[in-house]
Every structure is written in structure tokens, then in C-alpha cells.
Amino acid sequence: MESIFYYALSHEIRRKIIKIIGDNDFSSFTALKKILKVSTGTIYHHLDSLSQLIKQKDDKKYYLTDLGKHAYNSLLENIEIIETPDRLNREFSSPLFRFLFSLTPKKFMAFEEADRSYNLVISITILILGSILCGLNGFYSFLLFFIRTPENIYDLSIITHVFFSLLFVVNFFIYFILVELFCRLFYKRSENTLEFFMSFPIIFYPMVIYLLVHFLLLSTELIQIAFFGVLDTILLIFFQILSLWLLTYNLNVSKDLKIESGLILSLLLHYGSFTIVLFLAL
């Protein structure tokens, strides 16, 4: 029962639902949708997750159960319960996770309806910058990996640069489809597809930073110096780790996956793509 209680309070939307019903003694589905400003499927998903805390009576209104009232009182007392204590200690106690969490643009993933347009602009900007930089660097994109063209970058035609740019965008769609497909097949999570799609470019922002740094090293020919070559590789690995964390966090927010499950999915795709890249390099 304790695990149900903590799980219910582990998501912002579920906390809001409990607060709305508690403040008004009851609530209709229409009222919840109007206040929360999220999709119908999202509300139904979270109501189902709150089945032990919320009950729907014959009048079609939602009411708090005794456990739900306990959760509501906890919220009133400002008891911040984001995860169960054991999960919190296990997932975020390490300095690495805390550092990655500090670099997470959380508001661009768990966004309100009013912020949809702003977030869309940010996502499109990331895709545009990434595609331009990928074209300038002469990279083939494959999930979170970049494969250098064997040709001299200075001998590439404009059409070839444009091709690399478009490939970055195509790679984005392929990555999203793979993640969405894995969520549906292995975790039976099909909700919030549009919201997940709109926030998906955010996971590429670390890779855009890497592409910019690599282009600066390439254009100044510093990349030919051994030290900067090693530095370039280290930065690639670091930004890949950050992107994998952003994907894991986004899966937690958008698909309501546990951190462990999201991390398994992220690493499965990453190591799978690494194996393919390694095989192609042979």
C-alpha cells in the first residue's frame, strides 16, 4: 500500500489531480481536462494509475478514497514525495546522476499546454542547428553516433553537404520511431505520443553542442593535433551520456516509465547502434 501511495505522488499530473479533487471534494472529467490542459488519453492514464486513491461514483464524479485523502493531506503539508525513498536513493544519490539532473531542461519535457508553441520553436531550432552543423562537418548521422565521410570534407559538393544535413533530420525521425515502438512493444506505453514527439529533439541538444565544438576544431585544423583529437572523442562520449540521460528522463515524464526501465531502453538502442557502427567500420 505504501508503494501505491508513493507512486501516486511521483508524477506532477497525478499530484495535480489529487489536489483538484481534494480542494473541491470531487471533480468531473471535463473539469480535470479544462484545468490540466492535457490530452484525454493522458488524463485517463493517470486516473487509472490512481485507481487506489480515486473512485468514480454513480454520478460520474471522481472522489478521493481514504488513501487518496491521506495523499491530499500530505500535499497540503508540502511533503515533497517525488519518488519512493529507496528509489530516490538508488537512482539519484550518485554525483553523476545529480550532475546530469542539473543539466536537464525539465520544463521543455514536462510542459503545459500554454507552452506548447514555445517548446515547438525550441525543438525545431535544435533540429535546424543540428542539421546545419552535421552538414558542415560532413557526418552521417546514426542515432547518437556520427560517422565521418571518407572523402576530404573540403572537396564535398554543396549537394553532399545538404544530404548530410537532411540525413540528420531523417535520423531524428528514425530514432523517435524506434523509441516509441520499443515503448509500445516492451512496456505497453502508447500515451502522450504527440507530447513525446514534440519534446524529443531536446535530447539532441548535447549532440548539437558537440557538433559545434567539432566544427570549430575542424575549421581551425586543431582536430589534427593529437590532444584535441582525444578531447573531441571525450566530448562525444560525454554528450552521448547526457543525451541518453535526457532520453531516460523524457521517457519517465512522457511515458511514465521508471528510471530503470527508461535507462534499459536507452542503453539497448545505444549499444545496438554502437554494434552496427563498429561492424561497418571493419
Same domain, 149 and 269: yes
Same domain, 74 and 155: no
Q: Which of 34, 59, 82 is the last residue of a domain?
A: 82
Same domain, 74 and 131: no
Q: Which of 64-73, 160-169, 266-275 has the lowest mean pLDDT?
A: 64-73
List, for residues 33-89, the tens digit of each pLDDT value: 888 877 777 788 788 888 888 999 888 899 999 888 888 888 877 654 444 444 444
In a domain, 262, yes or no: yes
Length of the chain equals 282
Same domain, 54 and 174: no
Same domain, 202 and 74: no
Same domain, 162 and 227: yes
Same domain, 140 and 270: yes
Domain total for the chain? 2
Same domain, 174 and 207: yes
Identify the pLDDT of residue 259. Answer: 84
Same domain, 100 and 61: no
- Is the CB of residue 219 less than 8 Å from the CB of residue 228? no
User: Is residue 91 predicted with pLDDT exceeding 60?
Assistant: no
In a domain, 107, yes or no: yes
In a domain, 89, yes or no: no
Average pLDDT for the chain:
86
Find the CATH number of the domain harbouring 32. Answer: 1.10.10.10
CA distances from 207 to 96, 146, 162 (A): 19, 10, 19
Work out the percent of the chain whose per-residue pLDDT is above 70.
89
Rounded to an integer, the average pLDDT of 86-112 is 67
Q: Which domain holds residue 112?
A: 95-281
Alpha helices by DSSP H, the chain: 2-8, 12-24, 29-36, 40-49, 66-76, 85-92, 95-102, 116-137, 158-186, 193-199, 205-219, 226-254, 259-281
Same domain, 188 and 266: yes
- Is the CB of residue 108 less than 8 Å from the CB of residue 199? yes
Same domain, 133 and 223: yes
Identify the pLDDT of residue 113. Answer: 63
Q: Which of 47, 82, 117 is the last residue of a domain?
A: 82
In a domain, 88, yes or no: no
